[in-house]
Chain A
Amino acid sequence: MISRRVVQILILGLFIASNYYGFKWFRGNLSAAKILDSFYLADPYAALQMLAAGMLISLDILIGGLIMLGFYGLFVGRAFCSWVCPVNIVTDTAFWLRNKINIKIPSGQQVKITRKARYWIMVLGLAVSAVVGVAAFEYISPISMLHRGLIYGIGTAWLIVLMVFIFDLLVLKHGWCGYLCPLGAFYSTIGKYSLLRINHIKEACTDCNDCKVVCPEVQVLDIIGTKSGIINYGACTNCGRCIDVCEDNALKYSFRKLKI
């Protein structure tokens, strides 16, 4: 948990400092960045939207996008969401406050959205990009807006961030990240087969269900207490909260065993 915040804030800080103090390590932002003044990284979902919008993407963006695609897809899975994304700090705060002031909505009165909605929104984002001819999610994305805003000045984007906060706090638990965010859906889709996985050891588990209380994507923990093995879902963000909270050492990070 603490290392997660450190990584998030460090990445953010490096981008901000690179702008304010003019050093060249992390130029740009999470949409596209020039690292150490030598190579580019790019948000693959943004690149995909540009492609859908009818733009031949440049070589720099193609390579930068593929690097990120490979990094998340092959190695760390959906870790962007929990280790890099600045909105995650906002939604985690909302979750923390929600528990602190004990907001409980009786079942039956909750807002009903399926967790699959975000995948449709992801597809919709590409479709809308194709129709209007620009990368559509980039015009409303609280992620890009917050990150860009913190580096270059935020304007009224804080309103959108506040909307996400209130939605998560009062309307739906983990609402933005868990149900709506198309970028999270994108990283879920590509992160399904990544090497880094949470591993469950059934023999050590005492069925306390603490992990299910803290997990933002609780549906991925279906094997807890019934079966040993890896949490094999793209939606798992590898945040490690379940590992932190587990008193029995029944959960740990591990690498997927490759059958060759």
Chain B
Amino acid sequence: MTAPGNKYSRRESIRKILGSGGLFAIGGMAWAGYVDENKSTAMVLRPPGALDEPDFVRACIKCGICVEVCPYDTLELAKAGSEFPVGTPYFKPRDIPCYMCTDIPCTVDCPTDALDESLVSIAKENGTTVLDINKSKMGIAILNAETCLAFWGIRCDACYRACPLIDEAITLDLTRNERTGKHAMLKPKINNEVCTGCGMCEHACITEETSIYVLPVDQVKGKVNDQYIKGWEEGDEARMDTTKVYRDTKTNKQSTLDYLNDTESLLEDE
């Protein structure tokens, strides 16, 4: 039946509504699936001051101002079809590292605060904050001891010299060269806490493929379970009171003693 003035009957209308509704549902799902698949990658190095990756891709409006203001052309916007989420900034330190501008223009000029100044600022005593590029955490440098020439006993300290936080982020471990018996090895060692991930070491490394390279923090950081306490460090034992395992585990002194003193069960013949 077609009601007067209506182009379609009720049945046709319902069919049309369901049909186009279904089409939109399918389109929406495909769209969501595509975006979800492409929205982030674990292996990308972001500019200094970047939020955590999920928040970063949410906040970045893909305008490229950070890329334009970078004086060293370090940053690039990911092209469509590249390995990184389209339109977002990244850098590859082997090509051009972050040269750690003290005025951090990429972060300061970011309109969306996807690059957040507060993450690269320190508070001063008078309550104001001041930019400090050394607080940035773009990644952490990892060393491949198999291919690092210093570990072969050959004298190379290119990464150590290139590091803007020399003797803090990279130190040299002086060890005896057991093979020759009369030389020293100058092994670079990275301090994860201090390393900013600028990648100047990676850029400087002289091996054909770099032996020291920056990875995103999330790919490197380990985490120790709460119950491991550094008993030899002052104050760390206080954590026993707050750590869940110690707080919640009921111990019974008597049963522990009984267990230790129970020699008879050891002698029992099965």
* Residues in A lying within 8 Å of B, measured CB to CB: 18-19, 22, 27-29, 31-34, 40, 42-43, 46-47, 50, 53-55, 57-58, 60-61, 64, 120-121, 124-125, 127-128, 131-136, 138-140, 144-145, 148-149, 151-157, 159-160
* A182 vs chain B, min Cβ distance (A): 11
CA distance A144 to B80 in the complex (A): 11
Q: Please pick, from A18, A33, A132, the residue contacting B35 in the complex, using a CB distance under 8 A.
A: A132
- Beyond known contacts A19-B68, A140-B35, A148-B62: 10 more, CB 8 A cutoff: A28-B65, A29-B64, A32-B61, A33-B63, A128-B28, A131-B32, A132-B35, A139-B85, A148-B87, A159-B80
Q: Who on chain B is nearest to A127 by CB? A: B28
A-B contact pairs, 12 of them (CB 8 A): A28-B64, A28-B68, A31-B87, A42-B61, A46-B61, A58-B112, A128-B35, A132-B36, A134-B39, A148-B87, A155-B81, A156-B80
- Asked whether A152 and B77 contact (CB < 8 A) given A28-B65, A58-B113, A145-B86, the answer is yes
By a CB distance below 8 angstroms, the chain A residues around B79 are 149, 152-157
- Say yes or no for B8: interface residue by CB 8 A criterion: no
CB-CB < 8 A to B63: which residues of A? 28-29, 31-33
Q: Are A138 and B80 in touch, CB under 8 angstroms?
A: no
Question: Contact between B82 and A55 (Cβ–Cβ < 8 Å)?
Answer: no
**Chain B nearest CB, measured from A87 CB (Å):** 14
CB–CB A60/B80 < 8 A: no
Which residue, of B35, B59, B67, B113, has the highest number of chain A Cβ atoms within 10 A?
B35
Given A34-B111, A148-B77, A139–B61 Cβ distance below 8 Å? no
Q: Which residue of A lies closest to B30 (CB)?
A: A128
CB distance from A153 to the nearest CB of B (A): 5
B38 within 8 A of A: yes
Given contacts A144-B87, A153-B79, contact A138 B112 (CB under 8 A): no
Q: How far is the CB of B105 from the nearest CB of chain A, in Å?
A: 11
Chain B residue contacts of A133, Cβ below 8 A: 39, 54, 58
Q: Among B31, B35, B57, B82, point to the contact of A155 (Cβ < 8 A).
A: B82
For B28, the closest partner residue in chain A by CB is: A124
Complex contact B32–A144 (CB within 8 A): no
Q: Judging by beta carbons under 8 Å apart, are A32 and B111 in contact?
A: yes
A71 to B76, CA, bound (A): 31
Interface membership of B24, Cβ < 8 A:
yes
Give the complex CA separation of A2 and B98 in angstroms: 44
* CB proximity of A6 to chain B, nearest CB, Å: 24
**Smallest beta-carbon distance A227→chain B, Å:** 23
Shortest distance in angstroms between B175's beta carbon and chain A's nearest beta carbon?
46
Closest CB pairs A-B (n = 5): A155-B79, A156-B81, A32-B63, A157-B80, A28-B63
B61 touches A155 (CB 8 A): no
Say whether B112 contacts A124, CB under 8 Å: no
Shortest Cβ gap from B116 to chain A (Å): 9
Q: Is the Cβ of A124 less than 8 Å from the Cβ of B86?
A: no
A34 touches B65 (CB 8 A): yes
Are B76 and A160 in contact, with the CB atoms below 8 A?
Answer: no
Q: Is B232 an interface residue (CB 8 A)?
A: no
Complex-state Cα separation, A70 to B56, whole angstroms = 28
- Taking CB as reference atom, which chain B residue is nearest A57? B112
B109 close to chain A: CB less than 8 A: yes
- Complex alpha-carbon distance, A133 and B58, angstroms: 6
Closest CB in chain B relative to A135 CB, distance in Å: 7
Are B87 and A138 touching (Cβ within 8 A)? yes
- A155 and B59 contact, CB distance less than 8 A: no
Checking A27, A121, A124 against B68 with a beta-carbon cut-off of 8 angstroms, the contacting residue is A27
Most chain B Cβ neighbours within 10 Å, of A29, A135, A139: A139
